[in-house]
Structure 1
Amino acid sequence: MNLSDLRAHWDYFLALDEDLRTLRRYIAFHEDNLETFSLELHRVIQMAALEVEAVLLSLCRGIFGGCGGKRSPSFADLDLLGKNFVRQKWGIGVEDIEVHFLGLGVPWIHRVSRSTPGGTLKHGRTQALKKATLRHALMAVGALATWLTLGSLGLPEPREPDGNLHPVPEVVRRVVYRGYSLGEPAHVFGPPYEVWYVESPNAHTLSRPDPGQSGAGPGATP
C-alpha cells in the first residue's frame, strides 16, 4: 500500500466519521446510550467492517510482506497477519490500542468482528439489528481508524513533503497505545494546516518534525 492507496481508504473513513457526527444529533454519545440500536447504526457497522477487511488486504499485500501464500485470505487470516506484523515490527499489541471519541468520557479498546453484526446481516436481520448498537458502531469505526493509523505508520521513510493524512476526523479524536498517542490531529504551518499526525511509540518525542517543516508537529487535540 502506498500513500495514494491509504488516502483513498482515509476518505472512506472520513465519510463514516461524518455519519457518526450526524448520528450525534439523534443519539447522545454517552455511556447510557451504548446499547441503543438502529438501522443507521447497522449500516455504519456493516460498511466499516467491510472497509476494515479491504484495508487489511491492502496492507497485507503492500506492507505486511504477503498474505501467507493465500490468494483469498479470510478476515480472520488478515486480522492475525496484521496483528503479528505490528507486534513484531513495533512491539504493539493491537488488542491494547484504544480509540478516543468526541463526547465520550471513556475510550474503547480496538475490536471488530465480522460476526457481530456485519456478518449476520444477510441471514438474521432481526437478531443482527439488535446487535447494531452504538457500542458496536464505535468499535467498527475505531478499528478502521486503528488500521489506517498503523498503515500510515508503516509507510516507508522519508515520507514525501505532504505525507500526512488529512483532513482530520471530527468524532474519532485519538488512537492510543498504553497512554502513547499513535495518531491524533496536529497543526502544521501551511496547507492543509491540520493533519492526522502518526508516530511510533518507540520514537523519541524530540524526533518529531518541526511544525514549520513538511511534517506535523506535536498533536493539538481538544
Structure 2
Amino acid sequence: MSWSSRDAFNALEDDLFALSRYIAFQEDNFCVYSLELANLLLRIGSEVEVFTKACMHGSCEDECNKKTNIHDYVSFWTSDNRFKPNIRIRLTSCDLLFSPWQSLESKERPPWWISYNSVKHNRLDAYRDANLGNVLNAAAGFFYLLLFKMEIFDFMRVAGSEPCRGLRLFRTVD
C-alpha cells in the first residue's frame, strides 16, 4: 500500500481530534504553542510541499527536477482559474472559519506558511510560531489543496453537508 497525501491528511485529522481533547479549538487559544503543535505544523507544511511537488510533476516533467519554493507552489496553484484564494473553510467541531490562502490575493505568502518556515529553519527563536492558530490554518490550507486537486467541491460546498468519505475535520463554506 502506498502512502498518499490523503492518508497523511487522515492521520493528521486523527491527531488534531486527539489534540482537541487538551486544547479547545477556539480563537482564545490560537496563541497556545507547544512541541506537539510544532511537530504538527512541520508535518502539515511538509505534506503541502510533497503534495504540491507531486501535482507539479504530474503536470510538467521539468518541474520535478528543479528546486522549488512557495513562490513556485503559488504560481502552480493560482495558474488554474478555479483556484479560489479567498475560499473559507469551516472547522466542523465549532464555528471557526479559516481563509488559509487569502493572502495570495495580495501576492503575499500565507502567514501560516511563513511560520512553518520559521519553525523549520529556526525552531528555537520561532517556537511561538508553532501555535494552534497556525496549525489550524495550515491544516485548512492542506485540506483545500486536497479538495481542489480531487475536484470534489460539489460534495462539500454547503457547510452543513455530510463530509466527504475520509475527510471529517473541515468543510468549505463558499
Alignment match of 2:145 (pick from 123, 147, 151): 147
- Give per-residue Cα distances to partners, 1:80-139, cap 9 Å, x unaligned: 211122x2xx3x42x2112111333131002345431x2223543233210111110011
SS of match in other structure, 2:149? helix
Residue 30 (str. 1) matches residue 29 (str. 2)? no
TM-score norm. by structure 1 comes to 0.61
Mean Cα displacement is larger for which, 97-106 or 49-58? 97-106
8 Å contact kept, 2:98–2:137: yes
Alpha-carbon distance in structure 2 between the residues aligned to 1:110 and 1:137: 11
8 Å contact kept, 1:67–1:81: no
Bigger proportion of residues as strand: 1
One-letter identity of the residue aligned with 1:145: F
Using the aligned pairs only, state the percent identity. Answer: 23
Bigger proportion of residues as helix: 2
- Give per-residue Cα distances to partners, 1:173-216, cap 9 Å, x unaligned: 3023xx2xxxxxxxxxxxxxxxxxxxxxxxxxxxxxxxxxxxxx
SS of match in other structure, 1:121? helix
Alignment match of 1:71 (pick from 65, 87, 105): 65
8 Å contact kept, 1:145–1:175: no
1:102-117 to structure 2, matched below 5 A, reads 102-111=92-101, 112=110, 113-116=112-115
One-letter identity of the residue aligned with 2:172: V
Alpha-carbon distance in structure 1 between the residues aligned to 2:150 and 2:72: 21
Deviation at 1:25, TM superposition (A): 0.6
Q: 1:49 to 1:123 in 2, by over 3 A?
A: closer
SS of match in other structure, 1:100? strand
Partner of 2:57: 61
Deviation at 1:29, TM superposition (A): 0.8
One-letter identity of the residue aligned with 1:119: N
Displaced runs of 4+ in structure 1, greater than 6 A?
none
SS of match in other structure, 1:174? strand
Greater relative contact order, per chain length (Cα 8 Å cut-off, separation 6+): 2
Q: Give the aligned length.
A: 154
Alpha-carbon distance in structure 2 between the residues aligned to 1:30 and 1:114: 20
Partner of 1:173: 170
Alpha-carbon distance in structure 2 between the residues aligned to 1:48 and 1:81: 19
Deviation at 1:12, TM superposition (A): 0.5
**Which protein shows a greater Rg?**
1
Deviation at 1:66, TM superposition (A): 1.9
Q: 1:122 to 1:77 in 2, by over 3 A?
A: closer
Cα RMSD of the aligned pairs, angstroms, is 2.6
What are the ranges of 5 or more consecutive residues in structure 2 without an aligned counterpart?
Answer: 102-109, 153-162
8 Å contact kept, 1:34–1:135: yes
Alpha-carbon distance in structure 1 between the residues aligned to 2:79 and 2:31: 32
- Give per-residue Cα distances to partners, 1:148-170, cap 9 Å, x unaligned: 1111019xxxxxxxxxx974233
One-letter identity of the residue aligned with 1:77: D
Alpha-carbon distance in structure 2 between the residues aligned to 1:60 and 1:149: 16
Alpha-carbon distance in structure 1 between the residues aligned to 2:63 and 2:134: 32
